[in-house]
Structure 1
Amino acid sequence: MWFLATLCVSCLLMGTQAQSSASFRRSNDRNGRCQYSFTVDSPTEASCPSPVSSPEMESLKSRLGLLEALVTRLAGGEDVPKFSESSGSKSGLQDAYNQAVEEKAQLQREKQRLERQVQDIQRRMEEFRQEAERLRNKPCTPQSPPRGLVNDNGFRPGSGPAPPHLISIPEKKDHLSLSTRYQELTAVVTEISAPNLDGPTDITGCGDLVWVGEPEMHRKADSIAGKYGVWMQDPEAKDPYGSEMVWRIDAVGADMRQLIGYENMDDLARGFPTKVLLLPEGVESTGATMFGGSLYYQRRLSRTLIRYDLLSENIAARRDLPHAGFHGQFPYSWGGYTDIDLAVDENGLWAIYSTNKAKGAIVISQLDPHTLEVKGTWETKIRKTTVANTFMICGKLYAIASYTSPNTTVNYMYDTTTSQGKAISVPFKNRYRYNSMVDYNPVHRKLYSWDNYYIVSYKVRLGKQE
């Protein structure tokens, strides 16, 4: 027995010397039971041919798997949460956009309602104006002189103070008091001058502009194409079109080539055109005019002037306006590429524009209506971009201060006869707050205007500037 114990100890000592290390371990098995193990390194084998997985290895593999998944997510899996955030943002933006669209629709409905109210008020005002005009033109009923007063020698009330010997007062003082008689006598002999609602007295022939009447509305455009435009009547109309023919060109759009004609002002008001001509070349802005059976206009994107004959429906003449600015170089203050403005008055055809040499000041040229050749040129001292619009009357240029102010003025006049300009102040109204065209018709003696969709006209008076 002792021998066997000694032999076992010797084997252990020899095994210990032959091996580099040994270990003793205690751990739980897969079933949770305590397990003791004694490990000695093999002196001949580097590794076991069929290793057995330990719980630590399984735990390590699990951790490595988790680590690999985390690395994979960090390296390429972050797009998913970002996509979710982006989706949430897009959803929020879509909700906000839908709400904005709904509010816009509500505001549009409210705007339409207010526009209807404005139109109704304007209609009522026009009815009141017409009624006032009717009452103004209605003759007054003659009044018989008060009882107790004697009119002698054909004297009529309102003809001025009557001489004392023409009026006798009855001797019967018991019928009327002295104060009553005095009031009746004053009513007879006092002349009361009524205000002149039509402005200053007009003169025959030419003179200075002294008064511009209230705007009279003839028609409102049907679409956005008619927000700006030009309308006219030929002061020297030729067959086959009469002097009452009305022409218009809508000036909103890339290709303005339609010239629309109406038989008269009533057809214009009702919107019944009788003629539509397609111009061979596009129109630039609102500077066109009509004279002697031809339409005169500036060709789009150029300084070329065109005379379009209405009878033959062809271009009769064309010519470049020397050195004239075009397409936004020297427009009126409202813009609209109004660099060249053609006008007609008692003296013929005119072009209103500017050049680089004039440094933006208004230049006036009188044109030959047949060849478009320049017959004379005048340079003013007022910048074209500072005025809202201009027109010619009797060889004089007139400038309007504002195109949006409801109560503005014609504030400048230049006389081509004397080559002198001066400041003036003639009231002018932009009823619809965006006036894009003003031209003068010497036959009807009116200003024609296009004010924010509305076709309007103004009566004018000529006289002597004070």
Structure 2
Amino acid sequence: MSQSNMFILMVIIPLILSQSVRGKDCVCELQSSDPAFPENKLLNVEFTVSQCNGNITSEKMTEIDSLVLGLQQRIWQLLDNVSMLEKEDNGNLYAAVSLRIIELELVEIQDLLNKLNRTTNKYQLLSEQTSAELQDMEDTMEELEKFDHTQVMLKQRENQRIKRDLERCKDVLNSTKPAPTLSPGHCGLGRMVSVSGPRTYSLTVYGTSYPYGAWGRDANPTPGDENKYWLVVLSSSIVHGNFIRQYGTLSTLILGIGPTDTYISSSNPTTNTIQGPNMVMYGNALYYNCYNTYSVCQFNMTTRSVSTVALPNDAGYNNKFPFAHLGTTYIYTDMDFATDVSGVYVIYASTSNFGNVVISKVETSDPPVLSQTWSTSLHKKTVTNTFMVCGVLYATRYLDKEIEEIFYTYDTKTNEERYDLRIHIKKMQPNIKYMNYNPRDHLLYVYSDAYIVTYETMFQEVQ
């Protein structure tokens, strides 16, 4: 047989060859010397991973934190009550009613302890099971990797490492100058450098059916109300609300215990009811967008009276200039309200400013009045939220389902604007419908797809 008629057979796995000639045909039988790939083991690993994803969720991971926080708040509340009773004691005798209150608080604390113990034991068992399953999966994958004769997996891991290194280099190249330093004239915090958390993360008692709402603490509380928290959930077409729910402590809010409801009106929607999720509490009054108008409403929680002040008649309302991103619009967020050490601000957009953000200071008199106003170049529909810190407006935008970014500032003292901040906020839910800074505890209070969340703001001290 000449060289041109020879058959050359090349294979990448060990083979046992046999030939038989039938006339002019050449028949080759190929048999692999390697064992068959154990596909069932790979399917078992995939099934175990699916089960782990279903058993371990972000809600479960934060459940213990919520219980511990609630227990801590209840214990501090009990200590305060006992201390108050000791000061009011007359003749070493406590009133029966006061003792009954303490008894009920102890029962609630014991219930929380029992629930915490049950939850801890359940999670400990889950952790042990998950650890064993992870070890089994790791052993199985190491066994399966022996079948990777061409080292595809090895090359993939190397590629992933190179990509991570490239991303780190990119972050260094894209690093920007720091956020503006807040001088002592502003309030002496220094510059904002990061946002950490979440510190609190809990579903409200209303459940996931109500994705729009707001909550927080009074930025300037009246004596005796320092520990109170308020919550407003837009329960009418996820647009309107007509009452404010208050809780004595953060733990009672998380657990839904003992709320007090204060009604603005008897029905929804009607004159003076709340429109949109953006509102703040300051000086025992709620500030919000009045129903179907371009006015700011001030609802006095004590007298239950409403006072109003109108924005310029070209200000956006009724969903004309809402917060938004490429994926969605946050309906009826035309007006945002913010608090800082100096009081209350309203953030909105107007046609005369081409749909760009306008900031107005709201004097908290009765009735309220608008004082100084600042116009910015920030288009409102490119923003998802705003808040104020020491006279500086911060704006956020949606990056993806996991990250919100503070990207913009406007300093009302110097009129300086910046678009190059890159402060990231780790989200627990895809959409943040409400965000406000509280100067009392330096926390961001967030309402995110029916969940209440807090984040801690970090500042670099002024040298």
**Alignment TM class, shorter chain as reference:** 0.5 to 0.7
Cα shift at 1:465: 10
The ranges of structure 1 where at least 4 consecutive aligned residues each deviate by more than 4 angstroms after the TM superposition are 113-117, 124-127
Superposition map of 1:319-338 within 5 A: 319-322=309-312, 323-333=314-324, 334-338=329-333
| Matched residue, 2:247 | 262
| Matched residue, 2:414 | 418
Q: Is the 8 A contact 1:387 1:399 kept in 2?
A: yes
Q: Is the 8 A contact 2:401 2:429 kept in 1?
A: no
Q: Is the 8 A contact 2:399 2:405 kept in 1?
A: no
Match of residue 361, structure 2, among 350, 363, 366: 366
Counterpart residue identity of residue 440, structure 1: Y
Match of residue 247, structure 1, among 230, 238, 244: 230
Match of residue 302, structure 1, among 280, 288, 293: 293
Cα shift at 1:114: 7.6
Identify unmatched segments of 5+ residues in structure 1: 1-112, 131-199
Q: Is the 8 A contact 2:309 2:370 kept in 1?
A: no
**Matches of 1:125 and 1:310, distance apart in 2:** 34
In structure 2, the CA distance between the partners of 1:289 and 1:120, relative to structure 1 (3 Å rule), is: closer
| Matched residue, 1:180 | none
Cα shift at 1:433: 1.1
Q: Is the 8 A contact 2:321 2:380 kept in 1?
A: yes
Aligned: 1:389 with 2:389: no
Counterpart residue identity of residue 246, structure 2: G
| Matched residue, 2:143 | none
Superposition map of 1:57-456 within 5 A: 117-118=56-57, 121-123=60-62, 126=65, 205-221=188-204, 222-239=206-223, 242-254=225-237, 255-280=240-265, 281-315=272-306, 317-322=307-312, 323-333=314-324, 334-370=329-365, 371-402=367-398, 405-422=401-418, 423-456=420-453
Cα shift at 1:237: 0.9
Matched residues, number: 283
**Matches of 2:295 and 2:431, distance apart in 1:** 27
Identify unmatched segments of 5+ residues in structure 2: 1-51, 70-178, 266-271
**Matches of 1:405 and 1:435, distance apart in 2:** 10
* DSSP 3-state at the match of 1:413: strand
Counterpart residue identity of residue 264, structure 1: T
**Matches of 1:126 and 1:231, distance apart in 2:** 19
Q: Is the 8 A contact 2:208 2:449 kept in 1?
A: no
Spell out, residue by residue over 1:10-37, the C-alpha distance to the aligned partner (whole angstroms, 9 max, x if none). Answer: xxxxxxxxxxxxxxxxxxxxxxxxxxxx
Spell out, residue by residue over 1:71-124, the C-alpha distance to the aligned partner (whole angstroms, 9 max, x if none). Answer: xxxxxxxxxxxxxxxxxxxxxxxxxxxxxxxxxxxxxxxxxx987752564337
**Matches of 1:437 and 1:424, distance apart in 2:** 20
Cα shift at 1:381: 1.1
Spell out, residue by residue over 1:33-56, the C-alpha distance to the aligned partner (whole angstroms, 9 max, x if none). Answer: xxxxxxxxxxxxxxxxxxxxxxxx
In structure 2, the CA distance between the partners of 1:217 and 1:267, relative to structure 1 (3 Å rule), is: same
In structure 2, the CA distance between the partners of 1:225 and 1:124, relative to structure 1 (3 Å rule), is: closer
**Matches of 2:236 and 2:339, distance apart in 1:** 26
In structure 2, the CA distance between the partners of 1:455 and 1:403, relative to structure 1 (3 Å rule), is: farther
Question: Could you state the TM-score of these two structures normalised by the residue count of structure 2?
Answer: 0.56
**Matches of 1:125 and 1:279, distance apart in 2:** 36
**Matches of 2:253 and 2:360, distance apart in 1:** 32
**Matches of 1:226 and 1:443, distance apart in 2:** 28
Cα shift at 1:362: 0.6
* DSSP 3-state at the match of 2:330: coil
**Matches of 1:285 and 1:114, distance apart in 2:** 35
Spell out, residue by residue over 1:302-342, the C-alpha distance to the aligned partner (whole angstroms, 9 max, x if none). Answer: 11111111111222x21111131101111101322100111
| Matched residue, 1:88 | none
**Matches of 1:439 and 1:369, distance apart in 2:** 18
Cα shift at 1:286: 1.2
In structure 2, the CA distance between the partners of 1:348 and 1:120, relative to structure 1 (3 Å rule), is: closer
* DSSP 3-state at the match of 2:276: coil
Cα shift at 1:300: 1.6
In structure 2, the CA distance between the partners of 1:257 and 1:116, relative to structure 1 (3 Å rule), is: farther
**Matches of 1:230 and 1:215, distance apart in 2:** 16
Q: Is the 8 A contact 2:273 2:291 kept in 1?
A: yes
Counterpart residue identity of residue 247, structure 1: W
Spell out, residue by residue over 1:256-293, the C-alpha distance to the aligned partner (whole angstroms, 9 max, x if none). Answer: 11210100101011111431011133111111100011
State the superposition RMSD in angstroms: 3.0
Question: Could you state the TM-score of these two structures normalised by the residue count of structure 1?
Answer: 0.56
Cα shift at 1:428: 1.2
Q: Is the 8 A contact 1:404 1:434 kept in 2?
A: no
**Matches of 2:290 and 2:264, distance apart in 1:** 10
**Matches of 1:120 and 1:366, distance apart in 2:** 38
In structure 2, the CA distance between the partners of 1:124 and 1:442, relative to structure 1 (3 Å rule), is: closer
| Percent sequence identity over aligned pairs | 24
**Matches of 1:326 and 1:263, distance apart in 2:** 34
**Matches of 2:219 and 2:459, distance apart in 1:** 18
**Matches of 2:63 and 2:340, distance apart in 1:** 34
* DSSP 3-state at the match of 1:123: helix
Cα shift at 1:125: 8.3
Give 1 or 2 for the bigger CA radius of gyration.
1
* DSSP 3-state at the match of 1:288: strand
Q: Is the 8 A contact 2:200 2:455 kept in 1?
A: no
